[in-house]
Chains A and B, each alone.
Chain A
Amino acid sequence: MSPAMALWVPLAGAVLIALAGRWPNLRETVTLVTTLTLVVVVAAVGIDVWEGARPYAHFAQPFPGIAIAFAVEPLGMLFAGIASLLWIVNSIYSIGYMRGNQEKHQTRFYVCFAVSIAGAMGIAFSANLFTLFLFYEVLTLATYPLVAHKGDADTIASARVYLGILLTTSIGLLLPAIIWVYVTVGTVDFVPGGVLAADPSFVPRGILEGTIEGPALGLLLALFVFGVGKAAVMPVHRWLPAAMVAPTPVSALLHAVAVVKAGVFTLLKVIVYIFGIDYLFEQHTADWLLWIAAFTILAASIVALRQTNLKRMLAYSTVSQLSYVVLAAAVLKPLSEVGAAVHMVSHAFGKITLFFAAGAIYVASKKTELAQLAGIGRRMPWTMAAFTVGGLTMIGVPPTGGFVSKWYILAGAFQSDNYLAIFTVILSTALNAAYFLPVVYAAWLLPEGEAPKQDHGEAPWPMVLALTTTAALSVLFFFFNAPVLELEYRVVEPWPGVVP
């Protein structure tokens, strides 16, 4: 299966959704059929990758030595897999949310959503930094109408922050970084040459190895880290809380999975394929990245502690969790890189569940503040049960997916006796517990405060179905994570080789 299909399917879906805009039932059917088709396509590509192939597709050649092309490798495969899988669940949820809330401009919503997913697929499968940058911007621009969906003055102001930060950092820092790489090594391909790309036993060494050294290397890394605003490393995280004005399905899939994961995925890929973990480890110029990631993890957790709005608390939790991936990548040890990849999955399952729950609470009861949630567990047991599972994943309690990734991140940190990383992970676990457990406690055990304006139970069934599914995925990932691990090991170990 050509990886380009993963791009064409959602784009074709977007066109069909636009054409079917006048008939909502047909439109939603088209959305669901598109999501299912995409999963089949991604799975087909995934099977090829699993069997050791490296599917490649070439589209255009705008500059000498730079193509718009796709080459699938384990990291991108994982990202595409989560995004496409969760798109199905999210679409079911969206239908319930958008209808239950009687939102306007629903056709625009579904069209932009499909285009955003196409952007995410493009990022996941890109063969070089240039293609990645192209789709990075597609994703930014396609999500803007989703963030500004409501269209009132506050929303537009927030959406301006969103677009402003993401475009400014990408054009101002990321693009010069990419051109710097191009000027230095004459290519921006993640894997130099097509020959090595086809060899599954190839372990990336970093195309910059032996070229840029010392402080310049650190500067280039900084351009990447802050240029990829989607990774939300402080101080370029402000767009993420701003994006919370969007309808909840957008926050759930895009601002917990597709967009933010596109950010950390880009950083991970740049560190592994462009810099090379061993080279960066020797050069010691990436040490500052550990500190800034640790700072982001802790600072965002402390800010999350002080939030009173549920979605904003989740947003800051996301900022914190994203930097786990950055921290793990910055440890620069094989196990921690695997941990970074796995954390993308476990956080995705957990955070989408939490957002789904927040949206379900909003649709059923119009409640948005933490203080209003006392006793809500009795009215919405399924929703709050899922919320509890999501919270436990964020903390990293077994048997949830969050435990698996923390395990590997810590293992990687111990490989190099990186006490800063170990200390940060432990302290942050405590902080995560401090802001999730009170919510869970209040929802289940405290009596309901003021009586709701109207009696309510659970949200519409598609939403409940969606959030229980993702909660179940969070738990299942604890038990059945071996395929993901085995796939991601190939990024750091020759394959076929030692299977963990």
Chain B
Amino acid sequence: MTLEHHLPALQVVVPLLTAPLVAVLRPKDLAWAAATAASAMAFAISVTLTSMVLDGSVLRYEMGGWPAPYGIELVIDSLSALVLLLVTGSSTVALLMGRDSVARDMEPHRQPLFYAAWLTAMAGLAGIAVTGDAFNVFVFMEISSLATYVLIAGGTDRRALTSVFKYLIMGTVGATFYLIGVGFIYMMTGTLNFADMEARIADAPTRAPLLVAAGFITVGLALKAAVFPLHVWLPNAYAYAPHVVTAFIAASSTKVALYVLLRFDFLVFQGNLDGHAIQFADFMLPLAVAGVLFGSAVALYETNLKRLLGYSSIAQIGYMILGASLLDQAGVTAGVLHMFNHALAKGALFLALVLMARRLAGFDLLQIAGIGRRMPWTTAAFLLAAASLIGIPGTAGFVSKWYLVSAAFAQGAVGIALVVVIVASSLMALAYLWRVLEPAYFGTPLETEGNDAPTPLWPLLVLWVAALANVYFGLFPQLPVTLANQAAGALLGIPATGVFP
């Protein structure tokens, strides 16, 4: 067996085994270097895996050589590849530019532990994306969640403690709901393997426990994914986490929860379980619309920039759910595509904040006044990512809006209403980002602010790579569109291109 064959396992094993090593490494910069190298290696593995599934094939890997459904099976398809790219990519970029920011935020002796927790979180998130086993998902979910709580509370801001407690309670409820649902399914089908569940669920003697299971799983994962109205943990968790952590989790963690949600609801339930449409699409669509409008509207009045972007994320998650709950090829493609494009935009925005934090006392909209003149390059990158979030043509955000609006138009009368919602929310995004950009460029800086040391070149370069990715994938979106299209085909059971099992 070649090394290539083991890549699905290595995707998780590399960061997971590096984590304890990082925890004992001294000095702190060595820990940072080891963590970054592990993350970069994981990213390289993700890229390789993506290139292997880009033709529509599915990679299967039997853990320990035990055949499925008895052993744990790892399954890599287009959807998992897309999520893996997000997780490992955002982690790598955030680590690459985050060393100074972490060094400012915590004492030296705690930094190696912080990096160890980071790798653990990443390994957990990647694990969710690679595994084909429902219980395994739960295990990785707990690993990543516990590590994420540590990351969020890792900074100096004491307010993070209360927000992380809220996140912990709600996250645990979500994970427990998921586990209850999986338990019901195991009771009825006797299997934990996704593919096996899909095959056996139709043979179940009664339907009621399965519907209950689907309800528990959908709600539990919606909690983890911050789907409105289960979003309340998100804004504060984003706002008070160390800035680098925000950049990482904003681009990855909710997307991973959404990934499991899509996997379960489409692959396992949809088409196999009568009445599931009511529980999923008919139930989620109004929530998605409400989330889109609510998130954007709150962001319009929010005065803290990080919380503002957090509420914007709630709206953006609404777009993804909206696309998915249209239940057709175009809609699901748009939803999955928006996972990718939103991660690009939001990740770049939070990365810009990492650099801005060097000069700013805080992220109140009054405090960012004049930052455009003090840090022209950083603010310009922020501007570019903001354009992508709004959906200005030529950026990645526009591509997913285009697919989303096209998919909505195809729905007839309901579709027109959805188009109105999407357009209205885009305009609100324009308005709330304008509330940030106008003081940033035209405001007068407050007197009391800290250092005016020049921005180091290296983090700025990394930031610009992230910002320009928004333009690149806006003009040449073939990669994410192909992945999203194949993922949608697989989820809906329609082979789009290539051969699906």
| Residues in chain A within 8 A of chain B (CB atoms) | 59-60, 62-63, 68, 130, 133-134, 137-138, 141, 148, 151, 156, 160, 163-164, 167-168, 171-172, 175-176, 179-180, 182-183
Contact = CB atoms under 8 A, between A and B. Distances in A.
Given A62-B474, A62-B476, A156-B438, A134 B394 contact: yes
The 5 A-B residue pairs whose C-beta atoms are closest, nearest first, are A183-B409, A134-B393, A60-B475, A179-B405, A172-B423
B392 interface: yes
Contact of A171 (B399, B423, B434): B423
Contact of A168 (B394, B403, B430, B474): B430
B427 interface: yes
Contacts of B390: 171
Contacts of A60: 475-476
Contact of B410 (A156, A160, A183): A183
B108 to A, nearest CB: 42
B391 interface: yes
Contact of B438 (A59, A134, A160): A160
B477 interface: yes
Interface residues of B, number: 26
B406 interface: yes
Given A60-B475, A176-B423, A171 B406 contact: no
A360 to B, nearest CB: 29
20 contacts: A60-B475, A62-B399, A62-B477, A63-B402, A130-B393, A133-B393, A134-B393, A134-B394, A148-B442, A156-B438, A156-B442, A163-B434, A168-B427, A171-B423, A172-B426, A175-B423, A179-B409, A182-B406, A183-B406, A183-B409
Interface of B: 387, 390-394, 399, 402-403, 405-406, 409-410, 419, 423-424, 426-427, 430, 434, 438, 442, 474-477
A176 B419 contact: yes
Nearest to B403: A63
A180 B420 CA distance: 13
Contact of B406 (A134, A137, A172, A179): A179
A137 B426 CA distance: 15
A138 B387 CA distance: 11
A141 B438 CA distance: 13
Given A130-B393, A168-B427, A182-B406, 20 more contacts: A62-B476, A63-B402, A68-B475, A134-B393, A137-B393, A138-B394, A160-B434, A160-B438, A163-B434, A164-B434, A171-B390, A171-B423, A171-B426, A172-B427, A176-B405, A179-B402, A179-B409, A179-B419, A183-B406, A183-B409
A138 B409 CA distance: 26
A163 B437 CA distance: 13
Contacts of B399: 62-63
Contacts of A137: 392-394
B31 to A, nearest CB: 41
Contacts of A160: 434, 438
Contacts of A176: 405, 419, 423
Nearest to B396: A62
Contacts of B424: 172
A160 B427 CA distance: 14
A156 B443 CA distance: 10
A151 B442 contact: yes
